[in-house]
Amino acid sequence: MKKLLLALSFLVLVFGLAACGEDTPPSVPTLSGVGNATITVGQSFDPLAGVSANDATDGSLTSAITVTGTVNTAVAGTYTLTYSVTNSAGETRTATRTITVQAVQPDPDPDPDPDPDPDPVGDFVLAQGFYDFKFAPVDVKNAFFGAAERWLLQTGAGGIPIFANSTFSLFSSRIQLPVENFVPVMGFGTGFATMSADDSTVRMDDGRPGNAGEYTYRGAFIFSPTTFNQWIADDSVSSDVNVWFLDSLYYFAFNDEFTGFDLLPSMAASMPIPIDSEVILGTVAANTWRIELREDLEWFYHPSINTSAFPEGHERITAEDFIGTYRLALEEGWFRAISGGGDFLNAAQRIVGAREFVDGEVEFDEVGLRVIDEFTIEFEFVPLMSEWDVSYWLSSMVMSPINLHLHEVVGASYGTSHTTIAAHGRMFIDFYEPDSIVRLRENPNFHSPNRTFFTGLNFQILPDPDFAFETFLAGGLDIGGVPTARFDEFSSHPELRFTPGATTFRMNLNALKTPEAQEAAFPGSGFTPEPIIGYQDFRLAMYFALDREEIARDLMRTAEPQMFHFTPAYLVDPQGGISFRDTEFGPLVGEGFSRSTFGFNEDAARALWMQAINQAVADGFYSPGDVIEIELVIQAASPAQALLGDWVEAQFERLFVDTARNIRVEITVTAAPFPQNYFNYILPGTFDLGMGGISGGTLDAAGFLSQYRADNAGGFTLNWGLDTNVAEIPVTYTIAGETFHEIWSFDAIHRALTAGVNVVDGREVVE
């Protein structure tokens, strides 16, 4: 190898001398101080300390140095950093260095009386004890959240973030939105919009003008709702329909300035009332909270439903409807009652006795869901909860009742059609034809009739986005999402509205590595995972190989490049109203990840690929001449994802080549229709790589960490093969003037931020 390098140097020298008689080539910058180094676990490390760059023309370029790669000083191992600097002539110098983090060696003669207050700088210890940061200062919560997200990037445990699902839309001229610019949580306030013209001026879904004096909002979905029973719904379309005919105990409304939101009572008569409360860090907290209901709540039945056999007073909604629904949901094991994050069993708002009732260990009268009187219900939680925690949890329409009388008649058919449900929201479903149309009309029994201007909503089922947009342009819809292929045509339209997304689409991965690990995780799947994905260096190589700006701007067109797992839509401190990305901790997550290029660095990708393949060959997984076949699952019927799949295939096959051993990666793109791309491939672990993303409550960013846990606590884990309860995340935080330097696991951080957790040696301990 040394002889080859000498020969190459000689050729470069000869070429340089031969060129001197012509144009003088620009100088290349120099990098100094980038030699390999060894440090000890817990020792502080600054990747730019002692590093400098100079250029014959520009002079010092030290401030222009970029560093790609990270060093986890809490975990012993070998880490690669790539340094790059470019001068004014466009010439770039790149250098790679290896940082070895070695384990702390035991003291051969330990001090029998150690210093009780050692120097905290770089002195990390494994977290021990019970922690509950739900009411901690916001800086503490942001520090932990940022450390958890950074770990996801470093390890690839959450997949490889690529783009955010931002959208560009046009509204019809008759829609009068309450705000011009997007407001977090409230969006453009479509539900609070008015109309300048009635339905007689537009064409309805049957092709004819609508009725004078009616104001129907006309939209479209790409597929039909799967259920009108909110407790078993697991798709966005069902939720988008259900939220209109179902009310909630609390709801979000614009504040007086239309710059943010207020959380107000809806089915509730007042804000939650604490029982036996205490004040923690200035916040009123309690395990038990009561909700007083409005006394004018009524059901509305579709005219075709026969209610003659129902008991007297069945139209009224009382405390029995709520608690009876909760009991039924737990007895039936309905999805939203036992999983999904906002359920009764989740540690963040776990109800006393709920788990034991589901497991058949206690009777329902031992569950913390109680009727106090006709219009008062009570929740007893395992963790302490604040007023915000309770009202935010109960702002979901999922937590509203179903009609128990109707359920008793139709049983498991409840929610399968518009005639097997009852409404208590702003609308009721007047007509539903699967794969065709959902029509909603104003609910005459709704307690606050002036909340919505619309007298109805029509949602056509239009699977083809291009056809849906053409329908909008032809006057058949009040909103049209601009397709990727049409973006340039409408990018300068004065009425174009940009909606930042809450979902980061990721390249999810199966890192189980071996058939034995696959069988243990998914018995009987028969799938063989690709070993290379099990190597952290390769996962990082894939991260740095993605030009997210090109993907978002040129391929997806209507998306935003996203190098992080959490978009600016997410808040760790919802009441403070500041996005986590805009806090001082947000930018720290991206240090060492080429933030200026949204995480794109081909030099780092190649170097990390070579480290991964070297180790994989040494481990016996691959031999010279092997083709590493990796399947990438994308969503069918999505032209943008098809383009993305082709781009990833070409990029990975170009970069991930070991020419010396003739080993290369070959990508096969498989298109599966939504939601089968999730349910048939990613969720059951029968995939190598898969495009997809799950969004969570933007005002509960810490709670959404559950979706990344290896134990599938949130019900939608999309990545497999990485232990999220391993203690290797360093966190520095200060409480009451005392600074702590501790090492945590991802799972322990999630629980500490949401519900409290017992931590032993940095890991979450499940009782």
What pLDDT is recorded for position 706?
92
Instruction: Calculate the CA 83 to chain-centre distance.
Output: 31
Q: What is the pLDDT of residues 40-85, one digit of tens each?
A: 776 778 888 888 888 888 888 988 898 888 888 767 777 888 888 8
Please state, as a whole number, how many other Cβ atoms lie within 10 Å of the Cβ of residue 28.
15
DSSP string of 119-157? --TT--EE--EEE--TTS-HHHHHHHHHHHHHHHHHH-T
pLDDT exceeds 80 at position 117:
no
What pLDDT is recorded for position 78?
78
What pLDDT is recorded for position 114?
35
Contact call for residues 94 and 66 (beta carbons, < 8 A) = no
pLDDT exceeds 70 at position 2:
no
Strands 456-461 and 216-221 come out as parallel
Question: 732: which strand partners?
Answer: 741
For residue 381 the two structure tokens come to 């939680």
Please state, for a pLDDT cut of 70, what percent of the chain lies above it: 93
Q: What dihedral angle (degrees, nearest 10) is formed by the CA atoms of 372, 375, 381, 386?
A: -130
CA contacts within 13 A on the Cβ side of 357: 24
pTM of structure = 0.75
Please give the average per-residue pLDDT across 219-227, as a whole number. Answer: 95
Give the domains, in start order, of the chain with CATH numbers.
27-102 (2.60.40.10), 167-222+427-441+448-499 (3.40.190), 227-425 (3.90.76.10), 502-563+598-692 (3.10.105.10)
Q: What dihedral angle (degrees, nearest 10) is formed by the CA atoms of 154, 157, 159, 164?
A: -70
Phi, psi of 473 (to 5 degrees): -60, -30
Contact call for residues 129 and 759 (beta carbons, < 8 A) = yes
Residue 457: pLDDT band (50, 70, 90) is very high
What pLDDT is recorded for position 25?
54
Please state, as a whole number, how many other Cβ atoms lie within 10 Å of the Cβ of residue 196.
11
What pLDDT is recorded for position 42?
65
For residue 217 the two structure tokens come to 């909002």
Phi, psi of 721 (to 5 degrees): 100, 5
DSSP summary character for residue 373: E
Please, what is the Cα angle at 316 between 314 and 320, to 5 degrees? Answer: 85
- Identity of residue 471: T
- Measure the N-to-C terminal CA separation of the chain; round to a whole number of Å: 56
Question: 176: which strand partners?
Answer: 194
**How many Å apart are CA 757 and CA 382, to the nearest integer?**
12
What pLDDT is recorded for position 414?
97
Cα separations in angstroms, 89 against 16, 28, 52, 53, 758: 17, 9, 19, 15, 57
CA contacts within 13 A on the Cβ side of 694: 26
Please give the average per-residue pLDDT across 461-487, as a whole number. Answer: 93
What pLDDT is recorded for position 7?
34
Q: What is the pLDDT of residues 353-393, one digit of tens each?
A: 999 999 999 999 999 999 999 999 999 999 999 999 999 99
Please give the average per-residue pLDDT across 91-98, as a whole number. Answer: 86
Please, what is the Cα angle at 127 between 761 and 73, to 5 degrees? Answer: 90
Residue 342: pLDDT band (50, 70, 90) is confident
What pLDDT is recorded for position 103?
60
Q: Is 73 exposed, middle or buried (0-12, 13-18, 19+ CB in 10 A)?
A: buried
pLDDT exceeds 70 at position 160:
yes
What is the overall mean pLDDT for the chain? Answer: 90
Hey, is 189 helix, strand or coil? coil
Strands 283-292 and 250-254 come out as unpaired
What pLDDT is recorded for position 68?
85
For residue 440 the two structure tokens come to 């909603």
Q: What is the pLDDT of residues 537-576, one digit of tens each?
A: 999 999 999 999 999 988 887 788 999 999 988 999 887 7
Hey, is 475 helix, strand or coil? coil
What pLDDT is recorded for position 397?
97
**How many Å apart are CA 742 and CA 140, to the nearest integer?**
13
What pLDDT is recorded for position 340?
78
What pLDDT is recorded for position 26?
65
Tokens 């590093």 locate to: 51
**How many Å apart are CA 517 and CA 523, to the nearest integer?**
10
Secondary structure string (H, E, C) spanning 539-589: HHHHHHHCCHHHHHHHHHCCCEECCCCCCCCCCCECCCCECHHHCCCCHHH
Of 14-28, 221-235, 350-364, which range is least confident?
14-28
Of 119-128, 455-464, 596-605, which range is least confident?
119-128
**How many Å apart are CA 528 and CA 109, to the nearest integer?**
50
How many secondary structure helices (H) and strands (E) does the chain include?
A: 18, 38
For residue 572 the two structure tokens come to 């760790």
Cα separations in angstroms, 134 against 3, 126, 508, 706, 749: 61, 21, 30, 15, 11
**How many Å apart are CA 570 and CA 575, to the nearest integer?**
12
Contact call for residues 310 and 405 (beta carbons, < 8 A) = yes
Phi, psi of 426 (to 5 degrees): -70, -25
Residue 120: pLDDT band (50, 70, 90) is very low
For residue 484 the two structure tokens come to 């990727």
Contact call for residues 338 and 714 (beta carbons, < 8 A) = no
Strands 52-55 and 30-32 come out as antiparallel
Q: What is the pLDDT of residues 190-213, one digit of tens each?
A: 999 999 999 999 999 999 999 999
What pLDDT is recorded for position 761?
95
**How many Å apart are CA 315 and CA 447, to the nearest integer?**
13
Q: What is the pLDDT of residues 692-721, one digit of tens each?
A: 998 888 888 999 999 999 999 878 899 999
